[in-house]
Amino acid sequence: MEEKKVSELQEGLITMKEVYFGDRQVLVGRRTILTLELIARLAAHGIDSVCVSEDVDFVQRFRMINERVDKKFSVFGNNPLMRRIAGVAKRYFKEKIVKSFG
């Protein structure tokens, strides 16, 4: 476990079982894979740093999804609708990984 600043968190890192902010518990029950949404939520709670373990496997899997989707959608350039679909697809795949972690 290592304490990292929320602003430096990477997708795919794993949080400790429970995350507290002062006395308030903001993540409960189990270790969780960090997604961009979750990192944003932690920041929104005003949390500066979180204890995480660097699981190379999950960080790698998250990175691979980004690369795979980006490569597939690169042919569409800046088409806003296709970029939106790419974003939704990335989230969908990452949720599946988070669920399988379970």
Partner 1 sequence: MKQEEIQRLIDESSQLPTLLNFYAKFREKISDPRISAGEIAQLISSDPSVSGNVLRTANSSFYGLMNRIHTVPHAIVIIGFSGVHFIVLNTAVFNMFKESELANAAFDLGKLWKHSLAVARLSRIIAKKVNYAAYEEMFTAGLLHDIGKVFVFKYFPEEFNRVIFTVNQKNISMREAESLVLEVDHARIGEMLLRGWNLPETLIATTAYHHDPMLAKQKAKTVSIVHTANTLAHALELGSGGDDLVPIVDAQAWLQLGLSECAIDEIVEDLKKESEIPDEIGEL
| CA dihedral of residues 76, 80, 84, 90 (deg, nearest 10) | 40
For partner 1, which is the closer residue by CB, 5 or 96?
A: 96
Among 85, 97, 98, 101, binds partner 1 (CB under 8 A): 85
Choose one: 1-9, 35-43, 46-54, 79-87; the region binding partner 1 (CB under 8 A): 79-87
In this complex, which beta carbon is closest to partner 1, that of residue 2 or of residue 37? 37
Shortest reach from residue 83's CB to partner 1, in Å: 9
The DSSP string of 25-61 is EEE-SS--B--HHHHHHHHHTT--EEEEE--HHHHHH
**The token pair that represents 49 in the structure block:** 């740093």
88 binds partner 1 (CB under 8 A): yes
* Cβ proximity to partner 1, 7 vs 74, nearer residue: 74
- State the distance between the two ends of the chain, measured CA to CA, in whole angstroms: 19
